[in-house]
Amino acid sequence: MSEGSERTDSHSSDVAPPQGSAMSEVADWWATAVSRIEPDLIELRGEPVQNLIGRISLAEMIWLMLRGERPDPRQAALLEAALVSSVDHGPHAPSIAAARMAITCGVGLNNAVATGVNLLGDVHGGAGEQCVELLEEVVRDGDAAAVVARWRARDRYLPGFGHRFHTRDPRRDPLLRLVTDATVEGVVAGTHLRAALEVEELIAPVPMNIDGATAVVYAELGFPPPLARGLFVLSRSVGILAHAWEESGQGRRNKGPIPPAILPTWL
């Protein structure tokens, strides 16, 4: 049933609507500070939607919906930079490869995008969240070397550092420059930036990657670790959508990582 449609099936009158205290209980159950919808009224975080349309950027809207307040323009710019940086990393990424295959299986764009998003887990897509946790531990502990030792005792890979393709992730420097500038201007405190640079120095020559750089941004802006992954999902969804849409116009069936023309005859 589409948004705004009315239910007209034969069973619609079988259940009486809740009344009195029951109605109040239902309303309380679904009460939320995120939005309020009434006839001729749509409020998002207490602001009429007509006052937002054309007057607020998508990054500002994301902040408003998640935090319940509007960001400073400089905070919004920093958030937007991080979102832009993580949009895509090529068709070899599992989430994008899966979405490209899915769209040729007779499903819609929404299914293809959902297929890709559902692969963004701890191993692919979760390093940003894990890196925020690492940086927060360094900030709390005050001893980066001890924190790194504890993390490496569990896993030799540190989330947010090193890359299997890039000797130096080309997205690292511009993001960290923006955070450095924001620190100088007093937009952010810079504590998580310093923590990340301490860790990077300790494990040199392994540099910070995009997950580490965006983790610095999200942590400096006050987003908790789970939202670092949530924001990455929003960002990468743009790339997933673009790849699925491109694949849908290829006129082929993409059912595996190898072109059919070079598949071994025994497959």
Q: What digits encode the pLDDT tens for the residues 91-139?
A: 989 999 999 999 999 999 999 999 999 999 999 999 999 999 999 999 9
| CA distance linking residue 134 with residue 132, whole number of Å | 5
β-strands 41-44, 35-38 pairing: antiparallel
| Residue 48 counted as domain residue | yes
- My answer on whether 141 and 93 are in the same domain is yes
Mean pLDDT value of segment 250-261: 76
Q: Give a yes or no: residue 137 inside a domain.
A: yes
What Å distances lie between residue 59 and 52, 70, 174, 181, 218, CA to CA?
12, 10, 18, 19, 13
What backbone phi and psi angles, to 5 degrees, belong to 117? -60, -35
Domain-embedded: residue 227: yes
Whether the Cβ atoms of residue 89 and residue 240 lie closer than 8 Å to each other: no
Domain count, the chain: 2
pLDDT of residue 7: 46
81 and 63 fall within a common domain:
no
Segment of 12-16, 29-33, 78-82 carrying the highest mean pLDDT: 78-82
Considering the domain architecture, whether residues 61 and 95 belong to the same structural domain is answered as no
For residue 232, what are its two tokens?
């990455």
Residue 171 lies in a domain: yes
Domain membership flag for residue 105? yes
Whole-number Å distance between alpha carbons of 147 and 251 = 51
Identify the domain boundary among 68, 84, 112.
68
In whole angstroms, give the CA distance from residue 203 to residue 161.
9
State the chain's maximal CA–CA distance in angstroms.
71
Same domain, 78 and 174: yes
**pLDDT for 163:** 72
Q: Cα torsion for 250, 256, 261, 265, to the nearest 10°? A: -160
Residue 154 CB partners (closer than 8 Å, separation 6+): none
Percent of the chain past pLDDT 70, that is, above it, reads 89
β-bridge partners, 42: 37
Q: Are residues 62 and 91 in the same domain?
A: no
Of the candidates 148, 105, 96, the one whose C-alpha atom is nearest the C-alpha of residue 124 is 96
The answer to the question of residue 29 being in a domain is no
**pLDDT for residue 40 is more than 50:** yes
Which of 20, 48, 68 is the endpoint of a domain?
68
In the sheet with 35-38, reading across from the earlier edge strand, the strands are: 35-38, 41-44, 47-48
Q: What is the pLDDT of residue 15?
A: 55
Total-model pTM? 0.87
Do 64 and 77 lie in one domain? The reply is no
- Examine the fold and report which residue of 68, 87, 118 is the final residue of a domain before the chain moves on: 68
Domain check: are 84 and 162 in the same one? yes
Number of Cβ within a 10 Å radius of residue 127:
25
Does 64 share its domain with 78? no
Distance, in Å, from the CA atom of 234 to the CA atom of 208, rounded to the nearest integer, reads 22
- The pLDDT score that the predictor gives to residue 9 is 47
Residue 8 falls within a domain, yes or no?
no
Alpha-carbon Rg for the chain, nearest whole angstrom, is: 23
Residue 48 β-bridge partners: 43
212 shares a domain with 124: yes
Q: How far apart are CA 58 and CA 121, in angstroms?
A: 25
3-state SS, one letter per residue, for 11-78: CCCCCCCCCCHHHHHHHHHCCCCCEEEECCEEEECCEEHHHCCCCCCHHHHHHHHHHCCCCCHHHHHH
Range of the domain at 38: 34-68
The reply to whether 183 falls in a domain is yes
pLDDT of residue 254: 81
